[in-house]
Chain A
Amino acid sequence: MTEVYLPSLDYLLAMKIVAGRRQDMRDARALIQYLNISHSQEVIDVLQKYMPQQYLTVKLQYIIEDLLA
């Protein structure tokens, strides 16, 4: 039997934000809505689950702000 591995939605959200392309922003907005996220700290918490601290840059902060604007 073939097994298919799917990433969790919060992992997917983290990947979308890090990729940061225009089409990823749309997907990230949809995921934020689906996951009922309303504060930037919640998104940062998701990123911190999967990323080393040194990769959490100001750029990502701006992207997160924009996603929730």
Chain B
Amino acid sequence: MSTYHWHRYTALESFDRIKKGEDPWVAHGDFLDDWRRSSHEDRLELVKEPLGEIIIPEERQWAALFAASIEYLCTQEGNNVPSWVKEARYYLQEPWYPEARSENMRRLLRETTPLMFAQHNVFGGNNILDRV
């Protein structure tokens, strides 16, 4: 394993930051950054543990986003997808359009969201994992 001179946030830790009241987009973004800054062979280490307990409905949405992101990233890179991301609790009952306020935007997000996110009922468009 490579040596890292900063703390790399795991998915579990990142989700805990959200549960503690931190900005969810910052926590999710930090996780994405740490994933991408890690050597390919060290990335699965960040997602091996399932997310913590989901208590409030809003946490379920973020948990679904994390699960979809991990499934997408692992698949894209040819890594094995951790089995926990496919547990029922990481699939939303209702579609979620993060921060969309208009019907036209929701329609646009439905049309552009990658299938893997849509399967989790998270419709964030095709740039939801973009950081720069």
**Residues of A at under 8 Å CB distance from B?**
20-23, 25-26, 59, 61-63, 65-66, 69
Contacts and interface: CB of A to CB of B under 8 A. Distances in A.
Given A20-B127, A21-B127, A59-B108, A66 B25 contact: no
23 contacts: A20-B125, A21-B127, A21-B128, A21-B130, A22-B99, A22-B124, A22-B128, A23-B29, A26-B25, A26-B99, A59-B108, A61-B104, A62-B104, A62-B105, A63-B105, A63-B108, A65-B102, A65-B104, A65-B105, A66-B100, A66-B102, A66-B105, A69-B102
A69 B125 CA distance: 18
Contacts of A25: 99
A61 to B, nearest CB: 8
B56 to A, nearest CB: 21
B85 to A, nearest CB: 21
Nearest to A20: B127
B98 interface: yes
Contacts of A65: 102, 104-105
Between A25, A66, A69, the greatest number of chain B beta carbons within 10 A of the residue's beta carbon is seen for A66
A21 B28 CA distance: 14
A23 B105 contact: no
A62 B112 CA distance: 13
